[in-house]
Amino acid sequence: MILQLTDVCKDYNRGKTLVPVLKHINLNVERGEYVAIMGPSGSGKTTLMNILGCLDVPTSGKYMLGELEIGAQNENALAEVRNKRIGFVFQSFHLLPKMTAVDNVALPLLYAGVSQKERRKRAEEALKAVGLEERLHFYPNQLSGGQCQRVAIARAMVTNPELLLADEPTGALDTASGDQIMEIFQQLSSQGMTIVMITHEPSIAQCARKVYHIRDGQILDGAFTKADAPGELGGDGYGEA
């Protein structure tokens, strides 16, 4: 098991009012799984992603990332987890505009203390893996949206993380670019990468092997698992697990 959430709740204080955002979340993800968490705006999916990515901690309940209990870690330890064990892909790319593609990809390795020569080598390899070997020295404003997202994926993968988290990874892209990004995720999944993706789009969620639905801060009972053969578990290729 790479991650396990047990009875996780997250509350926020709004003035004198306590607002529950996540309510008794239970979620298990095995190593190598490709999971989508699907829900509408305001369902709590972004808060859940922040907790999975160690950007926030639960109000109550337990989050285990492998053998590590996240709620028991201090901020320095959480920063190290984010740098070395988790890769992030966001809707808005979060590339630094004054850095080239290769320098953006190498940035997590700088924080990890990797030598300059090794940083450059690994960043170039990561960009080649997503088909951008001819765009190494381009700046974000010289790249298309789909190319920027491929740079972001290369940056997420350059540290060889245990877990890849993707938050609406195609939300800022046209359909053709979004399809290319989903193909990259499929390739990563086939290579054994554990992927958890947040989305509100059914067509994107169906790229995953398993789909959970979140609504009003709660994960609905059961996951939908893609059939080995189309139609085996229903007309859309999914059946309730």
Write out pLDDT tens, residues 141-166.
Answer: 999 999 999 999 999 999 999 999 99
**Two tokens, residue 173:** 């892209």
CA distance 130 to 184: 7
Exposure b/e, 142-180, CB count within 10 A at least 16 = b: ebebbbbbbbbbbbbbbbebbbbbbbbbbbbbeeebbeb
Mean pLDDT of 179-183: 93
**Two tokens, residue 12:** 């926020």
Angle between helices 101-111 and 116-129 (to 10 degrees): 130
CB 54 within 8 A of CB 132: no
pTM of whole model > 0.85? yes
CA distance 170 to 31: 24
At 233 the pLDDT is 33
At 136 the pLDDT is 96
Q: pLDDT class for 227, splitting at 50, 70, 90? A: low
Query: pLDDT of 94-143, one tens digit each?
Result: 999 999 999 999 999 998 899 999 999 999 999 999 999 999 999 999 99
At 234 the pLDDT is 37
At 229 the pLDDT is 34
The answer to whether residue 228 scores a pLDDT higher than 60 is no
Q: pLDDT class for 237, splitting at 50, 70, 90? A: very low
